[in-house]
Amino acid sequence: MNSGLSTMELQNLRHLLLFGETNKEKYKTYSEHCTDPYVKQFFQKEAQSSDQKKQTLIQFLK
């Protein structure tokens, strides 16, 4: 795959993707254990945001 990115840039994108996935799963877990509806909604939105950022990075690599 020749995306015009250096090895270091690809490595950094890989780390960002993993970090985004980890954040999404954390927020999802937090929201599942919340009883306060406002806090639950906050964590659900953060999980969605993390997933959207991950999808944006993946699109960038295509």
Q: Is the pTM of this model over 0.85?
A: no
pLDDT value at residue 3: 62
pLDDT value at residue 1: 47
pLDDT value at residue 14: 87
Under a CB-based contact definition with an 8 Å cutoff, are residues 41 and 28 in contact?
Answer: no
More confident residue, 52 or 10: 52
Kindly report, residue by residue over 23-58, the tens digit of the pLDDT: 999 999 999 999 999 999 999 999 999 999 988 888
pLDDT value at residue 36: 97
DSSP string, 24-48: HHHHHHHHHH--SHHHHHHHHHHHH
